Structure 1
Amino acid sequence: MEIEYKFCIPSQRLAALQAAVLRGAHAQIRMEARYFDTADGALSSRGIAFRLRREGDRWVQTVKALGNGPLDREEHNLDRGQAHATGSAPEPQPELHADTVAGTRLLGALQAASGPLAETYGTEMDRVTRDIAFQGGVVEMALDTGRVIAHRGTPQEKEARICELELELKAGPLAGLAVVAARWATRHGLYLSTISKAERGERLLAPQWARPATKASPMKTSGSLRHFLDGRALQRAAVAHCLHQILGNASEIVEGGGHAEHVHQLRIGIRRLRTALRELAPLAPGAFNPAWEPPLVDVFQRLGQLRDQGQALQSIVADLRDAGAPVSDVCTTTNGAPGASAAAIVRTPAFQAALIELMAFAAQGRNAPAANGEDQALDAKDSRRMLQKRLRSLHAQVRHDVQDFAALPVEEQHRLRKRLKRLRYLAEFVAPALDAEGESFLASLQPALTALGRLGDERLAHTLYSKATATDPRAWFAVGWLAARQGLAVADCEKALAHIADMPRLRKAGKR
């Protein structure tokens, strides 16, 4: 298993970075790779990459598969012998990777495939490697520049640029890798990306590539329930879970392929992470670094300003159009997609540095030593008791406000929505430990959150259209229509809130 960070390099910073890499003892090598898959994409659809790569005068066969966290991946390499003068590559032999984690996944995918392996795309790049020592360990740095090529030698030939810096932990503590990564990223304006060279090749093969926004997936245990509920283990699992959503969307945005839904899902990921940092902190006091919060808040709020005049108003604009509004989009953003502005926000050095630290925190094992200033973590029994208490408290607060929702001030209604989100996210973090009613409870929260979200969007739209009347009288139609909608939107919220289910219990460790 490899543990590494991968960064994209802004083109205007490449020359300075190359000079910095070459200052120390280093090695240079030319690499040319051939990637393989089946016609039905049996490997790429499962996050598996299989290649033969010429590294200098040797051929190396490699299989890569997804790991269990944001920093690790399963990988197995085999030397396939010296390269011939003709340049011809050996035939790929997947069976050579048997009895490895990545190889088992590769062979399983091929068994389910509908056809044989075939070459799909290739890479041509120059790699500069250098070891960086830190107290107690070593990091290997690899600077890759070159291109990915698809449909080589045909009229349809396409290519994509490779310009990446990888930092892999070779020896020592993970914290040392994070320090080195943060130093180089800050100094050279680097930004994290989870888009691999293999995925860049897959994008060239597709007629119109568009990676869907990454949404939150259900939490799962990685062992016994007792281990899952252990305070330190649950903290790390929840942070890793949030980072999967954050990094997937942030990578698309910083590389220019993101759209409004990526921005929206990134904000959800950040909100979920902030909930984890707030609600799970007592499980292992001192484990979370308070310095993570400010850059998370900054990016969340700045992206929110983009969304306010973008995706948040799209459905309202459509409804206004259906209602006969003379011009219903006078408040929407018209100067380009939000991706360009969002990319600059996500590349903010402070945000990137926080992500680097969070990834290192999440990648540490359950039995990792306590962080500086970290007090004793709660065991599974005490964690379960604390979480049950907090879930019941949030649920009771929501139920209290639901009783007279329409009479609450707007600020209190908005606070209820935020509290309901915290309840949902915290329940999702412990979903594997919820009793048989857990799934139906989580399902009962969604209609209320949808209704409250719509109410908030309509109020925002009313404010924006009211301001627009100063320069465009046609906005008065939207102001009147939205004012008339307020009572109905509040009633929708009351109806949905009334159907929130009772709070389920957390199962004891060992119970099923």
Structure 2
Amino acid sequence: MTTEIELKLRLNADHVSALADHLDQHAEQQSSQPLSNQYFDTANGDLAHHRCALRVRALGDESYEQTLKTVGQLRDGIPHRREWNWPLASDAFDPELLRDDEIEAQLPLELAEHDIARVFRTDFERRRWLWQQGENTIEVVLDQGNIDAAGQQQALCELELELKHGDASALWELALTLAQQVPLWLSIISKAEHGYRLAQLHQGWQEEPQLAADASTISAMRLWLQHETAGLQRSMELALWHGDSQAGLDAWQHWNNLRQLLVTSGKVIKRKHSKTVRDALAQLEPALAQLSALVTAARFSGARDLYSIYCQQAASVASNAQLAQALIVVSQQIPRLQLEPLEDSALQRLQRTWRDEASLILDAPVDINAEHWAHRVTQYARLRQLYLCRHSLSEPLEDDGSAMQQHRTRVRLLSDMLAGTTLLQISRQPGALLGEHSQALRDEFAQYLPLELKSRLLQLRPQL
């Protein structure tokens, strides 16, 4: 078993040549080879549900390798994934290699090996360089090709920075250095997860945070910050590179959760310690608010041209090197934040904050005009963040139980409140991108959105 310590970044294929030229000049060129990979699972995606990936790779010289990878853990914001590799004589999956106590502990309890078959494949050209930075040695890998699953194909173009020797923090420094050459966006979604999405076997690889009721404020804050940072990375990747409109909404929600955790936790995170993160988040704010507003506008109005505008805006964001660097800075600096210990547990502090703030937001007047609703974005962002933190400190709920359904309803209503007020705020800006019928849409939103927001707030009050 080995541990892979690696940052992944996505880039536009148009920028590959410029990046490769820079690496040729500043790093030691290594091999280049085509790689073909088959990924195996059951028809129900049992391995995917267990967040594992089983792969057989053709290495191009008539040799083969079987690999099992786990989703791993984040340490200092960098994924550390465990993997097991075995040489093979052919491209046939060998179930005997999985019969080991250590490996079986990573797999579903009742994995039906006879049901395992190929579910998707990846084929790409891999180019390698070695980057030496003081005592640190980093392998730089550029992969370009395709993912094929269920009769569909998805382009693959990504950069991997894998630590071979030294301090893992050097990966962040190299990512920022290379991101000054071309726009490079952090990628938290593996090739395997992309393949499972394409094969429609994906169930979500990011777990919800769960804490003990007596968790310390510091341990809770670290978990909340890590979860929201990973969520921001994941949703931005799906929004910018896959045209996923729901991800556009999710990115704005995660951004707001991060912002609220930073600006309202003065006793835990001193303002001077979070300045770098807050500045980087501020760079991302206008773009993410605009994407969220476009999705909400399209769903509320049904205007067909708004999704096209959303995709154009997402592509524009993806080509912005400064915004890509801002996300790297956020992800690098969040784990480094200095947290101050408190005597109160996380639950005690949260209960006090909820008592002081939640009722003021929930009981605010509802018979108000669009302009007043537009000024409540921060309030509903705060309420949503407080609720999610409170939920993470409660007893785990059964996935199909009534309590879980109630929780999901509350989250949906809170998300609708944030999305709706954001749309009203953005639509009031003169340069808002709302398509060819911008003024008519502004009038429609100003007239009808306040009624929708009032309805949702009245539904929320008895539930919270």
TM-score normalised to structure 2 length: 0.77
Within 5 Å, give how 1:156-305 maps onto structure 2: 159-202=153-196, 206=199, 218-221=208-211, 228-231=215-218, 233-255=219-241, 257-285=242-270, 289-305=274-290
Please state how far the C-alpha of 1:450 moved relative to its aligned partner: 7.0
Structure 1's unaligned 5+ residue stretches are 319-328, 365-369, 502-512
Confirm or deny that 1:120 pairs with 2:129: no
Please state how far the C-alpha of 1:500 moved relative to its aligned partner: 5.8
Task: Give the structure 2 partner of residue 26 of structure 1.
Answer: 29
- Separation of aligned partners in 2, 1:11 and 1:105: 35
- Separation of aligned partners in 1, 2:184 and 2:227: 24
Task: Give the structure 2 partner of residue 326 of structure 1.
Answer: none
Cα deviation code 1:120-160 (max 9, x no counterpart): 34334343333323355332222223444558xxxx6x654
Task: Give the structure 2 partner of residue 76 of structure 1.
Answer: 83
- Separation of aligned partners in 2, 1:28 and 1:490: 58
- Separation of aligned partners in 2, 1:20 and 1:353: 18
Within 5 Å, give how 1:42-61 maps onto structure 2: 42-55=46-59, 57=61, 58-61=63-66
Change over 3 Å in CA distance of 1:131–1:66 after alignment to 2: same
- Larger Rg, first or second structure (1 or 2): 1
- Separation of aligned partners in 1, 2:369 and 2:14: 51
Task: Give the structure 2 partner of residue 348 of structure 1.
Answer: 320
The counterpart of 2:39, out of the listed 26, 35, 39, is: 35
Q: 449-458 vs 5-14, which deviates more?
A: 449-458
The counterpart of 1:418, out of the listed 378, 402, 411, is: 378
Cα deviation code 1:313-352 (max 9, x no counterpart): 533x36xxxxxxxxxx5xx745825123113224533332
Cα deviation code 1:411-431 (max 9, x no counterpart): 665555532431331342243
The AA in structure 2 aligned to 1:244 is: A
Change over 3 Å in CA distance of 1:184–1:380 after alignment to 2: farther
Structure 2's unaligned 5+ residue stretches are 398-402
Matched residues, number:
446
TM-score normalised to structure 1 length: 0.71
- Separation of aligned partners in 1, 2:268 and 2:248: 31
The secondary structure found in structure 1 opposite 2:247 is helix
Task: Give the structure 2 partner of residue 105 of structure 1.
Answer: 106
Please state how far the C-alpha of 1:439 moved relative to its aligned partner: 8.6
The answer to whether the 8 A contact 1:28-1:128 is kept is yes
Change over 3 Å in CA distance of 1:349–1:293 after alignment to 2: farther
Please state how far the C-alpha of 1:458 moved relative to its aligned partner: 9.2
Change over 3 Å in CA distance of 1:79–1:342 after alignment to 2: same
The AA in structure 1 aligned to 2:17 is: A
The secondary structure found in structure 1 opposite 2:140 is strand
Confirm or deny that 1:390 pairs with 2:349: no
Q: Percent identity?
A: 20
Cα deviation code 1:192-243 (max 9, x no counterpart): 2334323444455x4xx6989x89964213xx655x4242x33331122113
Q: What is the root-mean-square deviation of aligned Cα atoms in Å? A: 4.4
Cα deviation code 1:139-183 (max 9, x no counterpart): 2222223444558xxxx6x65443321012334433322111111
The answer to whether the 8 A contact 1:126-1:144 is kept is yes
